[in-house]
Amino acid sequence: MVTIKDIADKAKVSPATVSRVLNHDDSLNVKETTRKRIFEIAEELEYSRKITKKVTKKLKIGTFYSYSPEEELEDPYYLCIRLAIEKKIKQEGHKRCVLSLSTSQDTISSLDGVICTGTFTKKMLSTIESWNKPTVFIDTYSGTPQSDTITVDYKGAVQNILDEFIKNGHSKIGFIGGAPENPAESNEEDSRYIEFCDYLKKKGLYNESYIKICPYKAKSGRLLFKELYDENNLPTAIFASNDSVATGIYRAAYELGLDIPNDISVIGFNDIPGAKYMIPPLTTVRVYMEFMGEHAVEVLEHKIKDGRTIGVKVLVPTKLYVRDSVRKLL
């Protein structure tokens, strides 16, 4: 079994530092690169942290998933998170109740807390808030100060992606993705799109004509890549907002007789299981989905135990996996 000492030895830090980083001790003065390295090594060694059982009561936890099973299969990101949540709840001996907007008030009243994943409309958030239960959101902001959020360090991830393109000589960089199915009802913009625009503007490389906004689906990536091609306005590189969109771009490139990466370079996001088996293997950002799901349960446990009413935000680092989908320009 992997121990904290194993991680400390590999990271070349003390076991105490590893313990405090994995427990998200904000008072610890440590470099962000060290913090990130510790999380990566823990993931690599498949470390499973045993938390002190401060919560002795077995809880009844409601889970609210905005994605349907069919949508999860198309975008495995939320599938991985959901499975991690359910596994952790089972390991801790808690009861789980799947919720919907029409769940009865009697059922809601019986819950100790709620974990929410997916993308949410304003109506959904209003309903969840009305339940008045300790709540943890994964990868979305509720807008309410009492709810907790576990989300991805999108700023750092997007900067790493764009630096990889720029390092390889790309100055014509596009973006495909960044919108839910019903943008008018959505609670927020995609952080990946916001950071993409901000960073390229700072670099003097922003070109709005290289941007296509669409839902996070393969079919959307396929259609909008073809739109760029038909407009005779194809950049040399495209950042796909997730790996499903990247899959659609791959399909469109094949249908148009284009080669990846020689004709178009692509970087995705999430590092879904099939990304490394694409042809060519997709360069993409690894998001620690399992950790986010497991940690959501732990955060909720302690929120309930402590009676905390002020929300916290946990920012989870990422890692760029460089494979073969980016061409180095001469």
pLDDT for residue 52: 46
pLDDT tops 60 at residue 184: no
Determine the Cα–Cα distance for residues 173 and 129; give it in Å rounded to an integer. Answer: 40
**pLDDT at residue 213 is higher than 50:** yes
Q: Give CA–CA dist 160/166, Å, rounded.
A: 10
Joined tokens for residue 166: 């720029």
Owner of token pair 């807008």: 143
Output DSSP code: residue 92: T
Q: What percent of the chain has pLDDT over 70?
A: 94
Q: Residue 51 above 70 pLDDT?
A: no
> According to the model, what pLDDT value does residue 49 have?
60
pLDDT, position 173: 98
The mean per-residue pLDDT over the stretch 266-274 comes to: 93
Secondary element (H or E) of residue 136 = strand 135-138
The model's pLDDT over 200-210, given as tens digits with 9 standing for 90+, comes to 999 999 999 99
Say what the pLDDT of residue 53 is. Answer: 45
| Contact between residue 7 and residue 47 where contact means Cβ atoms under 8 Å apart | yes
CB atoms within 10 A of CB 56: 6
Is the pLDDT at 74 greater than 70? The verdict is yes
Total-model pTM? 0.77
Say which amino acid occupies 7.
Answer: I
pLDDT average, residue stretch 92-117: 95
With bands split at pLDDT 50, 70 and 90, how would you rate the model's confidence at 296?
A: very high
